[in-house]
Amino acid sequence: MEKILIIVIIAIIIGGVLVYSLWLRINYRETWKITETPSTYIVKTPSIDDFVSIGITYKLNDNGLLTYTSDPY
């Protein structure tokens, strides 16, 4: 009886490892590779969130420049 229990536990562990490795393979996303030269392997298109810091307010002037707004305090 103890041998069967040990075999079942080992089978569950091996099955869990196999399912987890399959899940990792299915959910794989290409990430940025570390490189010495900037912008070499970047595949993501930058958005406005990549350039504008959260919590800082900017104003778009008529000439197209982005400037800080005045501090209300």
Where exactly are the structural domains of the chain?
2-68
The reported pTM is 0.38
Q: What percent of the chain has pLDDT over 90?
A: 26
Query: Distance (Å, rounded) from C-alpha 73 to C-alpha 56?
Result: 14
Residue owning tokens 């080992």? 10
In this prediction, residues 8-12 reach a mean pLDDT of 95
CA distances from 52 to 37, 58, 66, 73 (A): 23, 8, 10, 21
Q: What is the pLDDT of residues 26-48, one digit of tens each?
A: 877 777 666 666 656 667 787 77
Residue with tokens 């075999």: 7
